[in-house]
Amino acid sequence: MQNINDYNNYLSKKTAELIRENFSTKEITNLLVVKTGQRWKRTLGHIKTLNHKDYGSLIEINPLLFDLDVPEYVLDYVIMHELTHYFQGFASNQERKHKHPHKGGVVEKELARLGWKEIQEKSDKWIKENWSKILVKNNLNPYKKKIRRKRIIRKSILSFIRLFS
Ligand SMILES: [Zn+2]
């Protein structure tokens, strides 16, 4: 794969496949867009509303996950994490299943229920051990902290996969 368009096409196909295989009893009820985001150092993916939840949802995936050294199951896992938020009613118009997107390990529990426990554990381990190497390989300094600006709370972004948290 060469460029962002290839990545985005791949993400669309992959997401459709994951929905068919894992959420076959559910339906997509608003516009769902999946595309590459930024080369974030500490976020692998997120989901946010597009204009309004009744209109659409946007999942953005860190393009560093397309690095050939990243196992494919890690990318699958990140998409599954965001899809779980979608179907639990976060940043989508689905019925909201929980008060908070992460509290109580609701994503982990749902992924385990769907048969993804092993991949999740394997991915978390891989990320912990290898992510900083991926950053270095892609000319990003894993240690340098960004200058802290005043915290802007962006309400539309409801969830992130944060590293090391
Ligand atoms: Zn999350």
Distance CA 142, CA 156 (A): 27
Q: Which 3 state secondary structure label does DSSP give 70?
A: coil
The answer to whether the beta carbons of residues 37 and 4 sit under 8 Å apart is no
Checking if the pLDDT of 132 tops 50, the result is: yes
Q: How far is the CA of 117 from the centre of ligand 1 (A)?
A: 15
Average pLDDT over residues 1-24: 93
Query: What is the residue whose two structure tokens read 């199951």?
Result: 73
Confidence grade of residue 152 (pLDDT, cut at 50, 70, 90): low
Q: How far is the CA of 36 from the centre of ligand 1 (A)?
A: 16
Q: How far is the CA of 145 from the centre of ligand 1 (A)?
A: 22
pTM of the entire structure? 0.87
For residue 143, the model assigns a pLDDT of: 84
Q: How far is the CA of 120 from the centre of ligand 1 (A)?
A: 13
For residue 151, the model assigns a pLDDT of: 56
For residue 137, the model assigns a pLDDT of: 97
For residue 53, the model assigns a pLDDT of: 86
Q: How far is the CA of 86 from the centre of ligand 1 (A)?
A: 10
Q: How far is the CA of 84 from the centre of ligand 1 (A)?
A: 8
For residue 165, the model assigns a pLDDT of: 33
